[in-house]
Every structure is written in structure tokens, then in C-alpha cells.
């Protein structure tokens, strides 16, 4: 079963699958799937919404499932599984719908992979919920064909997508027409945006910090009128950056004032950058990567919404241009040209090169009297501190931060990890789950070979089998891709099995980070206690380790011989310190 929801970051956009509530209740009472079906054909209820504008837990897809369950009974069918892609469009090629992809795979193999519940097709309130693009129609149709006589029910109507009686052609035409219509709508949208930009009219978007949002009563366009409470803070951020203040310092200052973002959250450096670099505050607009200019005057088109001026706020277009000369990030470099070297350096900064960046967390008390718990990132040693080597450091703008040298931290934590792995995974055997489509793939390959041989022997005409071979080749390719993904997932699942020190030594950095993430939940780095020199020897007791595995077993790993002694005499250069307890290692 799939579930892309993240409890720590709730979002309307997600995909998931689960057993139909009625069947799940039956199974919980000890019943069997076959008994519950009682001769009915098992179907998947597929639900999708392009834009979820309702409050609550996916109310729209829930309504679709309710209708699908009721309509399936009209054809002696029963909904056994719910698959849903919420807040996900089906009209864009670049958008992947995880639930749709998994549904096609499960229909192909006649059953859901994890539970083994049988499926013979799908029901949806309308075909556009399932497909809009020809490629999705073909993928769905192939799945129904490979299952045998797969069933598709649209609302209350049973459609035959398997037999070539004209329905297939109609489906392709409908799908192609839908894609063409989508392209037309996009062109109209782009043309309308260009026209409005050249006319200086306001454009629709989520509410920006510094402006009022849209309102029906009284009627008001969004992002047109100033928010008198937020505007002074926006201007203050702009002036601070213009005067040379760091993004970190600006972010810390506005958070200290407890000024929320447009969405009511706490400011991040990226949020401050986005607000300050957005040309909307001086009346400008970016279209296709360039500032919209007046062809007659070669000056920027000034929008017809409230914006800053030199006379009223002390900042204007020239201020923005000066600020933008120091902006390197592509996605914030609004309409300004960058050199190739700038772009290359930006990409290089994104490369992971430190084993424990992201796992390490800051244990200092921040400006809000809370444990910071921000992620520590690796930094190269530069200037006078270059002799101490690379270091991990907290980057939260509202925290003085803690820092530790990379070398002693990596050595100590690697000792813990290897001791734990040696004790609990050394000698374990790799356990692989056979791929469920092996027999089906072999059958299709055999069929393709047989058809080709019949053509070579003169038993069949190429024109007669061309469409069949095309479909077989497409189905084989689909199954081969699924097999590759299965093998990749199995390798990841068995990452810790068959453990040895040699295996660790031969791993790439990305693989080692995967192992680390499976063993350590986090490592909180505590500040050096008051009165202790920042040049004191590295103290492993200032690292509070949280394990993903059995805590009791983890404690045994920390007691393994030689782990503490291996790094206890290593010097460490600490960042500016503050009060804080020294916690014992878990």
C-alpha cells in the first residue's frame, strides 16, 4: 500500500491506497476476502481531484469513493480497495500520480501487492478522473488487457476498454481532445498573463506579505492594497538588505519581533529572500524570466497595485537592482542575468559531502527560549579556522548555534554505528522477496517470440500482427521497468543485511548516509558548558544520540570496547558558547 502523507508537514497534495472500510471491518472480525465477495467482481475505487479547495481530510475524494461503492453494486461488483491522488492534476505530463501508477500495476498482476487482495478492474465517477492524456489511457488499457477481461465502470456505465469494438478509438480520441483542450487553456492563460503584465494589472497569486488578500465582502482583489501592519516590516527588511545586512541577521530580527509570515508561520532565510527579491514591492513584474519593460520608454512597466516609491518609502527599482547584484540563487534571481560561473558554483554548493549533515541537530536554547533542534550542516574550514578543518554548524537565524569539527564527530559516531551493526547485523542473510510479475513477463516474452517466428515462417503477415507486437513490446517494457524498481527497493530494504566492515568501506557516501539514517534518528549536539574552553578536547558526552532501532541494544553498542577511547583525545574547535547542560550519551 502507498501513502505519501507526511504527518510532520500536512499537505492537501498526497497519494494513498487502503483497503475499503467495509472489507477491512470484515477482515478485522476474522472473515476472508472470498466470503465477503460472495461471487462479486473485486474492483478498485479510484478517486482524484486536481485542486482540493475544501477544508478537511480529502472530502472530495471521499465523496467519489462513496459513489463508486454504491455504483459498483449495480454490476455485481464490489469495491475492495481505495486508491486516491488528491490535489494532483492528470493533464500535465510532468506530474506523476503515484496512486494511478500503483493501480495499473496491481490490476496488471490481478491483486494488490502487499495484502494479496484480488482486483479485476476499476470504477471511477468519470473517465477524466482516471486519464486525460493518451499515455495514461494506454497504460490503463494495457493493465485491463493483461489481467484478462479487465473491467472499467464510469459512474453507472460499464465500458469495454479491452475489446477493439470502437471504444478504444473513442477513448483515444477523447483523451487526445482533452489534451489538446488543456494545451489551448494553457496558451490562453499565458497570453492573458502577458497582456495583463504589459498593462500593469495585478495578477492572481497567494497573498504576499505586505499586501491584503482577496475578499468577497467587501469585494477586494488580492495583492492590490497594502497591509498597513505588515508593510513597514517589509520595507525595513528591504532597507536592511540594501545597507548590507546579512539574510541571517534580517531573519533573526524579524522573528524576534514575532512578525508572522503571510501564512502565519516563522520566517526562514529563504522566505526573507523571496520577499525582498520579489519586484512586486516596487511595482515590477517578471514574465518569462525577464522584467516586463515598456517598449516605448525601455523602462519597467509599473503595476497598478500599491507599491513602494522613493518619495514615500525611500526604496525603489534602483534599490532592488542593487540588492539583486548579490543574489546567486537561480530561483530568486528574478529577471537578472547570471554568469555561467555563478550558476556552476550554486550547483556545487548543493552537493552532499558530509556524512552526518541533516542527522545532527542543535541542542542550544534559542531566542524563543526553546531548544533549537535545527539541522547542522557541514562547512569547509576557511581563513584562520582552516587549520581546524571542516565543521558542522547550526544555521538557524534565531540561534547562536553550536559547532563541532567534522573529523572527531564522524569518527565517534562511526564507531558507535559500526559497533551496533557488528553486533546486530553481522552474519545476517539477505532476504529478497520474489517479484510477482516474473511469470507474466516470461509469458509475454514467449508470446512475442512466437509471433515473430510465425512471421518469419510465413504463417502470419506482418500487417496482421503489427498491432499485437506493438502492444506486447509496450507491456514487456512496462513490466521490465517495474522489475528494475522492485530490485532497487529490495536492495534498499536489505541494505543492513549481510553486514560486514568491508561492505561499509566499499559503500559510496550516499549509501553510507542511507545506513546512517536507518540507524540514527538524530544526534543532538549540546553546547559546551559554561566555563569550559572552546579548545578543550572533544567531549562525546555532549552528543545526545537517538536510535531508530532497539534502544537497549543501542546502549550495548555504546559500551563496546574502544569506541570512546578512539576519539576522546581529539581536539575540537567550538563555536561561541553559552549555558547548557552536558547530557550523557544514550
pLDDT tens for the chain, 586 residues long, are 899 987 767 788 999 999 999 999 999 999 999 999 999 999 999 999 988 776 667 788 999 999 999 999 999 999 999 999 999 988 888 899 999 999 999 999 999 989 999 999 999 999 999 998 888 999 999 999 998 889 999 999 999 888 754 445 555 555 555 556 666 666 666 666 666 676 677 766 788 999 998 888 788 888 889 999 999 999 999 999 888 888 888 998 999 899 999 988 889 888 999 999 999 999 988 877 788 888 777 788 898 899 999 999 999 998 998 888 777 655 555 555 444 444 444 434 344 688 888 889 999 988 888 889 888 888 888 877 777 788 899 888 888 888 888 999 999 999 999 998 888 888 888 788 889 898 999 999 998 999 888 888 888 888 888 888 888 999 999 999 998 888 888 887 888 888 888 888 878 888 888 889 888 888 999 998 888 877 788 888 999 998 886 544 445 544 543 443 333 333 333 333 333 332 222 2
Three cell numbers, residue 111: 491483486
What 3-state class would DSSP assign to 45? strand
- H helices within 200-246, ranges in order? 231-242
Name the pairing type of β-strands 360-362 and 520-525.
parallel
Q: How far apart are CA 110 and CA 98, in angstroms?
A: 18
Q: How far apart are CA 460 and CA 306, in angstroms?
A: 74
Give the H or E element holding residue 345: helix 340-349
Three cell numbers, residue 163: 475489446
Q: What is the pLDDT of residue 429?
A: 83
Q: What is the pLDDT of residue 189?
A: 67
Q: What is the pLDDT of residue 26?
A: 93
| 465 contacts 390 by C-beta, under 8 angstroms | no
| 404 contacts 392 by C-beta, under 8 angstroms | yes
> 401 burial class (0-12, 13-18, 19+ CB within 10 angstroms)?
buried
What 3-state class would DSSP assign to 16? strand
Cβ neighbours of residue 531 under 8 Å, at least 6 residues apart? none
Three cell numbers, residue 379: 562547512
Cβ neighbours of residue 465 under 8 Å, at least 6 residues apart? 451, 454, 455
Q: Which candidate, 100, 45, 47, places its Cα nearest to that of 73?
A: 45
Q: What is the pLDDT of residue 188?
A: 64
Name the pairing type of β-strands 41-49 and 121-124.
parallel
Residue keyed to cell 503571510:
262
**According to the 3-state scheme, what is the secondary structure of 449-472?**
HHHHHHHHCCCCCHHHHHHHHHHH
pTM here?
0.61
| 151 contacts 121 by C-beta, under 8 angstroms | yes
Separation in Å, CA 351 to CA 22, 338, 413: 48, 20, 22
What DSSP line would sit under 96-142, residue for residue?
--HHHHHHHHHHHTTB-TTT--B--EEEESSHHHH-SSHHHHHHHHH
Name the pairing type of β-strands 14-19 and 360-362.
unpaired
Length of the chain: 586
Q: How far apart are CA 52 and CA 375, in angstroms?
A: 32
| 520 contacts 548 by C-beta, under 8 angstroms | yes
Torsion sign across C-alpha atoms 416, 420, 422, 426: negative
Q: How far apart are CA 233 and CA 204, in angstroms?
A: 23
Distance of CA 420 to the CA centre of its chain: 31
Distance of CA 32 to the CA centre of its chain: 37
Amino acid at each position: 500500500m502507498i501513502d505519501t502523507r507526511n504527518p510532520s508537514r500536512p499537505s492537501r497534495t498526497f497519494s494513498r491506497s487502503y483497503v475499503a472500510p467495509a472489507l477491512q471491518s470484515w477482515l478485522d472480525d476474522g472473515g476472508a476476502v472470498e466470503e465477503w465477495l460472495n461471487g462479486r467482481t473485486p474492483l478498485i475505487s479510484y478517486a482524484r481531484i486536481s485542486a482540493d479547495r475544501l477544508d478537511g481530510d480529502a472530502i472530495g475524494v471521499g465523496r467519489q469513493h462513496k459513489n463508486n461503492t454504491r455504483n459498483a453494486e449495480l454490476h455485481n461488483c464490489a469495491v475492495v480497495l481505495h486508491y486516491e491522488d488528491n490535489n494532483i492534476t492528470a493533464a500535465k505530463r510532468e506530474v506523476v500520480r503515484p496512486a494511478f501508477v500503483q493501480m495499473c500495476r496491481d490490476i496488471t498482476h490481478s491483486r494488490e501487492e502487499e495484502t494479496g487482495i484480488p482486483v479485476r478492474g476499476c470504477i471511477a465517477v468519470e473517465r477524466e478522473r482516471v486519464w486525460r492524456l493518451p499515455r495514461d489511457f494506454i497504460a490503463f488499457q494495457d493493465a485491463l488487457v493483461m489481467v484478462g477481461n479487465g473491467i472499467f465502470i464510469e459512474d453507472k456505465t460499464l465500458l469495454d476498454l479491452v475489446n477493439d469494438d470502437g471504444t478504444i478509438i473513442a477513448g483515444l480520441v477523447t483523451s487526445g481532445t482533452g489534451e489538446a483542450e488543456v494545451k489551448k487553456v494553457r496558451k490562453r492563460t499565458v497570453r492573458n498573463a502577458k497582456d495583463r503584465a504589459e498593462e500593469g494589472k495585478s495578477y492572481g497569486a497567494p497573498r504576499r506579505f505586505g499586501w491584503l488578500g482577496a475578499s468577497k465582502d467587501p469585494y477586494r482583489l488580492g495583492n492590490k492594497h497594502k497591509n498597513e501592519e505588515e508593510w513597514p516590516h517589509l520595507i525595513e527588511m528591504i532597507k536592511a538588505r540594501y545597507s548590507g545586512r546579512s539574510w541571517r541577521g534580517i531573519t533573526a530580527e524579524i522573528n524576534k519581533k514575532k512578525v508572522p509570515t503571510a501564512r502565519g508561520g516563522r520566517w526562514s532565510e529563504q522566505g526573507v529572500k523571496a520577499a525582498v527579491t520579489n519586484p512586486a514591492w516596487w511595482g515590477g513584474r517578471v514574465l518569462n524570466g525577464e522584467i516586463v519593460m515598456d517598449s516605448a520608454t525601455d523602462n519597467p512597466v509599473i503595476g497598478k497595485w500599491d507599491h513602494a516609491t522613493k518619495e514615500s518609502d525611500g526604496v525603489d527599482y534602483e534599490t532592488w537592482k542593487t540588492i539583486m547584484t548579490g543574489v546567486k540563487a537561480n530561483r530568486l534571481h528574478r529577471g537578472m542575468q547570471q554568469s555561467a560561473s555563478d550558476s556552476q558554483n550554486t550547483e556545487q554548493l548543493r552537493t552532499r559531502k558530509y556524512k552526518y549533515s541533516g542527522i545532527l541537530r542543535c541542542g542550544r536554547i534559542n531566542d524563543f527560549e526553546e531548544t533549537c533542534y535545527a539541522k547542522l550542516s557541514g562547512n569547509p574550514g576557511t581563513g584562520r579556522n582552516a587549520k581546524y578543518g571542516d565543521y558542522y554548524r547550526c544555521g538557524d537565524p534565531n540561534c547562536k548555534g553550536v559547532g563541532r569539527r567534522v573529523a572527531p564527530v564522524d569518527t565517534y559516531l562511526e564507531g558507535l554505528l559500526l559497533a551496533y551493526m557488528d553486533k546486530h547485523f553481522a552474519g545476517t542473510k539477505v532476504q529478497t522477496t520474489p517479484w510477482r510479475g516474473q511469470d507474466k513477463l516470461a509469458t509475454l516474452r514467449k508470446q512475442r517470440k512466437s509471433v515473430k517466428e510465425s512471421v518469419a515462417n510465413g504463417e502470419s503477415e506482418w500487417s496482421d500482427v503489427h498491432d499485437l507486437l506493438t502492444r506486447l513490446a509496450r507491456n514487456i517494457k512496462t513490466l521490465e521497468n517495474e522489475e528494475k524498481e522492485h530490485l532497487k527497493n529490495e536492495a534498499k530494504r536489505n541494505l543492513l543485511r549481510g553486514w560486514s566492515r568491508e561492505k561499509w568501506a566499499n559503500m559510496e557516501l550516499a549509501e553510507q548516509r542511507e545506513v546512517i539514517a536507518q540507524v540514527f534518528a538524530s544526534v543532538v549536539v549540546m553546547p559546551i558548558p559554561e566555563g569550559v574552553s572552546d579548545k578543550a578536547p572533544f567531549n562525546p558526552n555532549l552528543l545526545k544520540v537517538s536510535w531508530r532501532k532497539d534502544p537497549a541494544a543501542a546502549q550495548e553498542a555504546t559500551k563496546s570496547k574502544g569506541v570512546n577511547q578512539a576519539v576522546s583525545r581529539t581536539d575540537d574547535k567550538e563555536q561561541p558558547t553559552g549555558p547548557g547542560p552536558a547530557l550523557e550519551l544514550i
